Structure 1
Amino acid sequence: MNDEIIENEPTNTNSAKMVYILYLVGLFFGITGIIGVVMAYINKDGAPEWLKTHYQFQIRTFWIGALYLVLGSILSLIIVGWFVLLFWVVWLIIRSVKGMKALDANRAVEDPERWMF
């Protein structure tokens, strides 16, 4: 039974890594971000506790990022919106890279409910 857990864990880890990659690719092709959040929702229930923090972090990254994207798009009618959109791009890259680093080290995300990096 322990062998089954060990065999399944790399698949779960690869799935979480794929979500981070889909978010980064989503900067160029927006639909991949939606695919990533769907994957995170699907995989979070069967994951070990430390991996659930990654899925929670990814889900929050999607929804908070969507908020920044909508606000930036609306505010782009005035100059400040472009700065919000630039912040969103940098924010998404930093969150995804930090998440992948923690995932590669088999560590949970510290405070997955935070809004910033």
Structure 2
Amino acid sequence: MNNEITPTPSPATDPKTYSIIIYILMALGLFTGVFGLVAIIMAYVKKDEFKGTVYYDHMLYLIKTFWVGLVAGIIGFILMIILIGWIVIIAAYIWFIYRITVGFINLLDGKPVSTTSWF
């Protein structure tokens, strides 16, 4: 009789589950930036572990989405002086939501995302 116990892998260590968590945190980051910061740190930490998998592209995609969204938000805030900042902020918000939604759907379908496109 074999008394060895085989450890069950934790769902948190599964690349797909980990990626789903990051997408959810990024989406929550729209309401409070703290979740976005946690998500981006998690993406940077795991990105190299995911090399050679579809999840690596998702990490790069999320990192790009975060930084471009942040820069667009800052530019929009600065442009509020001349009253066009709201347009930039709303456009960046819509773009961010679009990217998170498309990326999440592709993740659930097991498909890669484009790390070079803007949409």
- For normalisation by structure 1, the TM-score amounts to 0.85
Note the 1:1-117 alignment, pairs <5 A. 11-47=14-50, 48-109=52-113, 111-114=114-117, 116-117=118-119
Percent identity (aligned): 30
| 1:9 Cα deviation after fit | 9.5
Tell me what 1:3 maps to.
none
State the shift of 1:10 in Å.
7.3
Aligned residues: CA RMSD: 2.0
CA contact (8 A) 1:61 1:95 kept: yes
Equivalence for 2:6: none
* Ranges in structure 2 where 5+ consecutive residues have no aligned partner: 1-8
Deviation at 1:67, TM superposition (A): 0.9
* Moved >2 Å (runs of 4+): 6-10
Question: Aligned pair count?
Answer: 110
CA contact (8 A) 1:23 1:32 kept: yes
The structure showing larger relative contact order (alpha-carbon pairs under 8 Å, at least 6 residues apart) is 1
SS at match of 2:95: helix
Q: Which has the larger radius of gyration?
A: 2
1:18 Cα deviation after fit? 1.4
